[in-house]
Structure 1
Amino acid sequence: MRTFGVEEEFLIVSPDSGKPLPLAGEVLRLHELDGQMTGLSRQLILTPELQQEQIEAVTHPHSSLSELGAEIRAGRTYADSLAQMAGARIAALGTSPHPVTPHATSNSRYDAMMDMFALTAREQLTCGCHIHVSVSSDEEGIGVLDRIRGWLAPLIALSTNSPFWNGADSGYASFRTQAWNRWPTAGPTDTFGSAQAYHELMGDLLSTGVVTVPDFDARLSRNYPTVEIRVADVCLNPDDTVLLAALVRALVETAAREWKAGKPADRIPTALLRQGAFRASRWGVRGDLLNPQTHRPDSAAYVIGVLHDHVRDALDEAGDDAFVADSLERILRDGTGTEQQRKAFGRRGQLSDVVAHATSLTHQLPATSYSPASGKTAQKQIDLPQRMVTG
């Protein structure tokens, strides 16, 4: 069973106005202090991000979907409890509904990015979800990357959670995708063909003096024996994060089997992949998507069904298919975080309502996990110290 892990980025927001607050340094200070007192910070990982208005929660690698889901929720609860101590909350929003001028985190890496990328970096306050899945070697990893390229746009559609930008509805289901694509290496890639070709490209990119780490939609991890899929918005509902992780692991397993069997990668032009990503970003699950098999528009429901069928064998073997099937049906029926945000705004036309609603959904949903033995959704309690839960 391949292991997988998740990195989720969150906004730090005012509990009153919902506006982002530059309190990451204080939240991380409390995280370090709590580790000295309870040891919890050694179990739950929080890291800084580009801007002081955001924080990242990182899970450990897991082989079980239920264990991964429990740590995703534990990380959200823990981060929110620390934010409350600092006078704030966390919200799983891909972009801030309120206008904001971010405050950059100062370290050697981020200082260099601010110097190189200027306004692009200064304005970049977006929150994504990155999923790591284990691979046996770089060669297998490249075999996977070459074979999942056409399947990433539906993942964007399923995770859309950023309709607002600079105080207005952008018209996009995922405006984070549009803002993110301002980085020079963001987006889909050509096929690589081999690990050697991939690493040669990394060397060539480094030699340009522009980027040190590529922001590809999917890449080999620098630090772990994994492939890292980076297309998703952070999900408002933690169950959607668990769904994405299940689908990504199944995509990786399916692609690895194709690579081992010698099945050629689909050499769809990268320009077409960008059109698929645009459709997913623009309309999410409420418009037509590009079918990864025909590269022509089909309804979102049909394309999501094609994705599900493509990875069903891997899902079945992992015991994840019932959870995935139920979750996909729910999203196609109820929508993603984008629909939730727009509904919250529509009640009174207040951006603060959007953030308040998001804050409640980020960490207060009951912890659930799929139980393969029963085929049902089982409750799983997160055991955190009461001080952390109450703040």
Structure 2
Amino acid sequence: MDTTTVRSVGVEEELLLVDPATGHPRAVAGAVLRSPGDNDPLVAELQREQLETGTRPCLTMDELSDEVRRWRREASERARQADVEVAALATSPLPVDPSVSPMARYRRICEEYGLTAQEQLTCGCHVHVGVESDEEGVAVLDRVRPWLAPLIALSGNSPFWQGRDTGYTSYRSQVWSRWPSSGPVELFGSAKRYHAAVQAMVDSGTLLDRGMVYFDARLSANYPTVEIRVADVCLDADDTVLIAALIRALVETAAREWLQGEPPDPMSVPLLRLASWRAGRSGLDGQLLHPVGHTPVPAEQVLRTLVEHCAAALISAGDLALVQERVHAVLRRGNGAAAQHEALRGGGGLAGVVATAVARTAA
């Protein structure tokens, strides 16, 4: 692997703050986090029952793995000082009435969007991959669209909501879809058209600002990256690294296709939405829409097609063996949702599910 040519990759993970005895989320982010001026890699999120970690940009998956684990441990240690634990759960298994963070922007979001914002206690995994320009970034966004739904299935880690089994692998993706700007988008074709579309959304008055452009994949407003936002936060750090490796390879594959003049798949937004819904509903246990043929096939076949699609980029980055091994491992043991169901069957109720997640988060 030549690290002078490989793309940088970084990960943001949102984590729940939970009571160690009951498993219920607790609104103590302010006690866990330092003041905003401290340049803290742990930051507040919309609700006080959660926080977000962020890695530095990394060139190898070993580096990224160390970073993800480092900040999970740091979050765990600080949470314990506030008498809580952190859990990498994309939704709370136990009932919760979320409490919005005190920052003015978050207060305004809750006022503007009502119950959609007030109930929005979900934890995602956002992956940033470096791009050379906005033009390259938009070319990537256009070409990764059909390949994002399988990542929802792979990362699914939110089967419970308000104390109930939802029947979904990723119910977080359903809750997140309530935002007016969320989900898959049309082909843009150029950076100019992308920025014009974003500006029109802001000018409509429906969004407060560009930060509320919640596309499944977008140009970052703060970094020279594309940001892929579809994944649930993963229960295990190994799965976070797997998602990041696949996303970096998808970005590199899309950029190569653009340079070679290959047009993007014109898959319609309604069909993309169906693919995402299907992935969130059945995860790895049923069928998914094939990213190329757009017909239902077993999830294992879709994941193997995903790896094959970006194999050349995985080889260039030195990640092919890691990705093959970890995809096989997830298919064998299941994703985070499967682990939560297994914990529930083991006794202890939904509090036991949370306790299992706490133990695995910082492992």
TM-score where L is the length of structure 2? 0.96
Contact 1:57-1:76 at 8 Å conserved across structures? yes
Q: Does 1:95 align with 2:100?
A: no
**Mapped partners of 2:91, 2:206: distance in 1:** 25
Cross-structure match for 1:343: 342
- 1:126-275 to 2 correspondence within 5 Å? 126-211=122-207, 212=209, 213-275=212-274
Query: What is the identity, as a one-letter code, of the residue corresponding to 2:28?
Result: L
Query: What is the identity, as a one-letter code, of the residue corresponding to 1:246?
Result: A
5+ long unaligned stretches in structure 1: 36-41, 365-391
Query: What is the identity, as a one-letter code, of the residue corresponding to 1:188?
Result: P
Cross-structure match for 1:23: 28
Q: How much identity, in percent, do the aligned residues show?
A: 51
Cross-structure match for 1:282: 281
Contact 1:31-1:82 at 8 Å conserved across structures? no
Cross-structure match for 2:3: none
Moved more, 238-247 or 202-211: 202-211
Cross-structure match for 1:374: none
Cross-structure match for 1:308: 307
5+ long unaligned stretches in structure 2: 1-5
Structure 1 residue runs of 4 or more that deviate by more than 2 Å after TM superposition: 29-32
SS of the aligned residue for 1:76 comes to: helix
Moved more, 206-215 or 2-11: 206-215
Q: Does 1:73 align with 2:78?
A: no
1:29 offset after TM fit, Å?
3.0
**Mapped partners of 2:92, 2:82: distance in 1:** 19
- Give the one of 1, 8, 18 matched to 2:13: 8
**Mapped partners of 2:352, 2:322: distance in 1:** 30
SS of the aligned residue for 1:348 comes to: coil
Cross-structure match for 1:386: none
1:30 offset after TM fit, Å?
8.3
SS of the aligned residue for 1:285 comes to: coil
Query: What is the identity, as a one-letter code, of the residue corresponding to 1:129?
Result: C
Contact 1:15-1:89 at 8 Å conserved across structures? yes
TM-score where L is the length of structure 1? 0.89
Moved more, 204-213 or 54-63: 204-213
1:349 offset after TM fit, Å?
5.6
Contact 1:144-1:252 at 8 Å conserved across structures? yes
Contact 1:276-1:289 at 8 Å conserved across structures? yes
Sort the Cα spacing of 1:83 and 1:30 in 2 relative to 1 into closer, same or farther, 3 A: farther
SS of the aligned residue for 2:283 comes to: helix
SS of the aligned residue for 2:17 comes to: strand
SS of the aligned residue for 1:60 comes to: coil
- The alignment's C-alpha RMSD in Å is 1.2
Query: What is the identity, as a one-letter code, of the residue corresponding to 1:18?
Result: G
Aligned length: 355
**Mapped partners of 1:227, 1:138: distance in 2:** 9
Query: What is the identity, as a one-letter code, of the residue corresponding to 1:261?
Result: Q
Q: Does 1:363 align with 2:357?
A: no
SS of the aligned residue for 1:56 comes to: strand
Cross-structure match for 1:372: none
Q: Does 1:322 align with 2:321?
A: yes
**Mapped partners of 2:317, 2:225: distance in 1:** 18
Contact 1:161-1:173 at 8 Å conserved across structures? yes
1:31 offset after TM fit, Å?
9.6
1:106 offset after TM fit, Å?
1.6
SS of the aligned residue for 1:97 comes to: coil
Query: What is the identity, as a one-letter code, of the residue corresponding to 1:20?
Result: P
Contact 1:31-1:46 at 8 Å conserved across structures? no
**Mapped partners of 2:307, 2:34: distance in 1:** 42
SS of the aligned residue for 1:330 comes to: helix
**Mapped partners of 1:195, 1:108: distance in 2:** 31
**Mapped partners of 1:64, 1:173: distance in 2:** 29
- 1:289-300 to 2 correspondence within 5 Å? 289-300=288-299
**Mapped partners of 1:238, 1:184: distance in 2:** 31
Query: What is the identity, as a one-letter code, of the residue corresponding to 1:291?
Result: H
1:323-376 per-position Cα deviation (integer Å, ceiling 9, x unaligned): 100000001111000000001111226110000000000001xxxxxxxxxxxx
